[in-house]
Structure 1
């Protein structure tokens, strides 16, 4: 197969800094500063993700102050358990990169803890990790499109289907026997990792020339047998 990263587990960072429930406010700040991250998962039982502490959670104390009774509860929080957002927004390690991107967009977060079926922490995936698929070279994309899409849908095209890729934009040209497959083709090509856009310029087979263009279709059908016998 190819070296495309289809799954979250292919692009995630496996070395993860995590917090315990009792980790103090200042230790959380120190960890974020040291590792240059904006959020950290909180674990219990050694590896199970129960929440996430982000910079936004920490800033509540700065915004309202510990003595501001009108501020949120997190303004007075001093441990990870009190600060964390729970339950944690996570992504399964076998989820697709597109699924992870949708979760990030839906919840407006920049990174996600990656977990296994038990909820145990396996890694962290960030926005920049998900964008790595677009670093794939054009030649690899073209080869996969030919093998996984063109050769499967059009084993005997009316004429060869040409695949050209430039800066991740795929262009398909040629003639196929069934033009109803054009929308399907575009959708499958767009699903190939690293594809930025698709220009599907496939056409149907060339029309056969009319034997007698001056006759209406119905009369032409009746006239053909007589012309063969003359």
Structure 2
């Protein structure tokens, strides 16, 4: 397929919250609340992503603290307590970080999120430096693409390459991301290929295919005479005598 599918760098958020590995517990809580995010990547001194701290990590720490034996850690509690202030991002983070590259196709990012059960992925370059963050909401942006834009890509970048010699143009209708293909094509073996390529177009939700091959011509029996031709009369013709009325 000649169309260029969207990649992570097309939809990722570039201005993101990142934490230094020495960030204190209460500062992390404040930062997540201020940025209204549920997780943030943790960077080392060189700016490389070494882990991720999420709200779940913070809650696990609080659960462990409140489950301590009676008399242990009594007094101030919560993110402003001395104990919480001494905990850093390096101690809280989940490591190694699950990341994705900027040039990765969107389906790859979606599979990575699903496999690891996360909602956001730090985007890193070949050196591990943070480039941005991609979320589930970012991946869904492609489905906001207009129907006519999707149809035009299919007409221009897919059909001419698969069916250049089609006697009649393949008709493309897109409604709410659902693509319907109708018409006749010279090679039915390419129909599954067309469906696969169309399904891979950004913004396509589903494909309904009603493509068919060329009209079939009836098979003529070679032993039968051609239509419209009178077979030659075999044998000698019987001639009536002159003057006979044929009665």
Residue of structure 2 in register with 1:105 after alignment: 114
What is the rounded CA distance, in whole Å, between the counterparts of 2:91 and 2:223 in structure 1? 88
RMSD (Å) for aligned C-alpha atoms: 2.3
Shift of 1:86: 0.4
Aligned length: 215
Question: 2:173 is matched with which residue: 141, 149, 164?
Answer: 164
CA distance in 2, matches of 1:26, 1:20: 13
What 5-or-longer segments of structure 1 have no aligned partner? 70-74, 212-219
Match of 1:19 in 2: 19
Q: Are the counterparts in 2 of residues 20 and 44 from structure 1 also a CA contact under 8 Å?
A: yes
Question: Does the residue aligned with 1:105 lie in a helix, a strand or coil?
Answer: helix
User: 1:9-62, CA deviations, whole angstroms, 9 ceiling, x for partnerless residues?
Assistant: 011111111111110000000000000000010001332000000111100123
Within a 5 Å distance, the mapping from 1:37-186 to structure 2 comes to 37-65=37-65, 68=68, 78-186=87-195
1:221 aligns with 2:222: yes
Aligned partners of 2:122 and 2:61: how far apart in 1? Answer: 24
Change (3 A) 1:62 1:224: farther
C-alpha distance in 1, partners of 2:163/2:137?
36
Q: Describe the SS at the equivalent of 2:107.
A: helix
Q: Does structure 2 retain, via aligned residues, the 8 Å contact 1:32–1:39?
A: yes
User: CA deviation digits over 1:135-154, x for unaligned, max 9?
Assistant: 00001000001111111100
Paired with 2:163 and 2:189, the residues of 1 have a C-alpha distance of: 12
Quote the residue 2:28 is aligned against: 28
Q: In structure 1, what is the equivalent of residue 217 of structure 2?
A: 208
TM-score (structure 1 length as normaliser): 0.87
Deviation at 1:101, TM superposition (A): 0.6
Q: Please state how far the C-alpha of 1:158 moved relative to its aligned partner.
A: 3.1
Q: Tell me the CA shift for residue 107 of structure 1.
A: 0.5
More helix by share: 1
Structure 2 unaligned regions, length at least 5: 70-82, 232-247
